Amino acid sequence: MAGRRVKSVINEVALVESQALRQSFTERTEALDRVKTLSLLPNGMHVTTAMVAAYFEVAETVVNNLLSRHREELESNGLRVIRGAELQEFKELILSSYPESYPQPRSSMALWTRRTVLNVAMLLRDSKVARRVRTYLLDVEHSSRAHSLTVDAPQPANDVESLDAHITRLSEESFTRLLGTTVVPILNALIETSSEQQRELISLRENVQQIEQRLVRHDIQLRRLQLAQEQRPLTGVMASIDAMNWREFEQHIAGLLRRDDCTGIEVHGGSGDRGADITGYTADGRRLVVQCKNFAPYRSVWSGEMQKFVGTKTLHRADVAVYVATCPFSREALDIAMQVGVTAVHRGLLDAWSGGAKLQVLK
């Protein structure tokens, strides 16, 4: 509990007050889905003001007021307000099929990107959801900073005990440096300027080292997991798939589709066709769209990535949508896939498909 309060007193204040600091976090949009599923419009790219308010569990007027105060910053991160012919076209292409779900705006409409929603999370003071997003961002920043401080260290010995000792020593040195140059000076400044909370801040300062030690243990465990994954011998079909680059992986999936009697298979080679990696038709003539991701096996496909593909499925008016990944899918991503009719091909199913089995959706 004390560790959580330290981050609240120090880091959240900095995020809310410093635009430069907020800007350094704008690419970490995965934080939104780690805290709560962010629903997107059917195009898979935008969110309305009402949807932003619903995500953060605040009134829509709160979001509008924040937009007025920080419009320049939000627009620099992708916020757009559309009007006139552009608004009419957006309503016809995106909203017309869902009139009850998405109220039709009259004269203008704010379109929020995931980056701008994350920007809101770093500005809203009184939203519990926003605080949870900030906490996630700051946890990741702590871990990343610790890792970056050790990345150029000399390689450890081969035996496990030497590896553990080496990682532990490097991590302790890194966090000692972090403690002395960043955390403690900030706490000292707060103690000097605060009268009402001085005693509490002094107590929190004494707990900082314990917090950092917990993060050290987390970093060591993560390193062990990654090392074990790297050292595990690869065998069978998945070994060859893991060795592929993204182009080779897309061609492999295209080959499986052709093997299973799909026709008109086109691989879009990274440029994409409105977000699709592969398009074509099933043996019985249904329109097919496929997303391919050759992620590391210990990664997961998150709900935001699945939601984006849902938008691609809608744009292509696909009858069959397949999301193929060399890793697992998060529970939230699988829930979304089931709701909208996307076939999620995880690592195990990919192994079977590559080995000769046929996907049920292609039969």
Q: What is the pLDDT of residues 47-79, one digit of tens each?
A: 899 999 999 999 999 999 999 999 999 998 889
Can you tell me the distance from the alpha carbon of 257 to that of 230, in angstroms, rounded to the nearest whole number?
30
Other beta carbons less than 10 A from residue 203's beta carbon:
12
Other beta carbons less than 10 A from residue 107's beta carbon:
7
Contact 286, 17 (CB under 8 A): no
Q: What is the pLDDT of residues 169-223, one digit of tens each?
A: 444 445 545 544 555 566 566 665 555 666 666 666 666 656 655 655 665 565 5
Q: Phi-psi category of 281—alpha, beta or left, where left has phi over 0 and alpha has psi -120 to 50?
A: beta
Mean pLDDT of the 138-151 span: 59
Measured N-to-C along each axis, helices 128-150 and 160-178 cross at an angle, to the nearest 10 degrees, of 120
The two tokens of residue 317 are 């008016």
Helices (H), the chain: 2-7, 13-17, 19-23, 30-35, 49-56, 60-69, 71-76, 84-90, 114-121, 128-150, 160-178, 184-193, 198-231, 236-242, 246-259, 303-316, 331-340, 347-354
Look at 89-93, 242-246, 265-269 and tell me which has the smallest mean pLDDT.
89-93
Other beta carbons less than 10 A from residue 108's beta carbon:
11
Can you tell me the distance from the alpha carbon of 287 to that of 291, in angstroms, rounded to the nearest whole number?
14
pLDDT at 151: 44
- The closest alpha carbon to 7, from 114, 116, 117, 143, belongs to 143
Can you tell me the distance from the alpha carbon of 303 to that of 306, in angstroms, rounded to the nearest whole number?
5
Q: Which CATH number fits domain 239-362: 3.40.50.2000, 1.10.10.10, 3.40.50.150, 3.40.1350.10?
A: 3.40.1350.10
The two tokens of residue 311 are 């938008």
pLDDT higher than threshold 50 for residue 234: no
Mean pLDDT of the 144-162 span: 45
The sign of the CA dihedral 256, 260, 261, 264 is: negative
The two tokens of residue 129 are 């959801």
Contact 137, 144 (CB under 8 A): no
Q: Whole-model pTM above 0.85?
A: no
pLDDT higher than threshold 50 for residue 110: yes
Band of pLDDT at residue 106, cut at 50, 70 and 90: confident
Contact 218, 143 (CB under 8 A): yes
Buried b (16+ CB within 10 A) or exposed e, 242-254: eeeeeeebbebbb
Coil, helix or strand at residue 40:
coil
Rounded to 5 degrees, φ, ψ at 125 are -85, -35
Percent of the chain residues past pLDDT 90, beyond the cut? 27
Band of pLDDT at residue 40, cut at 50, 70 and 90: confident
Can you tell me the distance from the alpha carbon of 349 to that of 139, in angstroms, rounded to the nearest whole number?
33
Q: Domain locations in the chain?
A: 16-121, 153-231, 239-362
The two tokens of residue 147 are 């890792």
Tokens 């898979």, residue? 44
pLDDT higher than threshold 70 for residue 289: yes
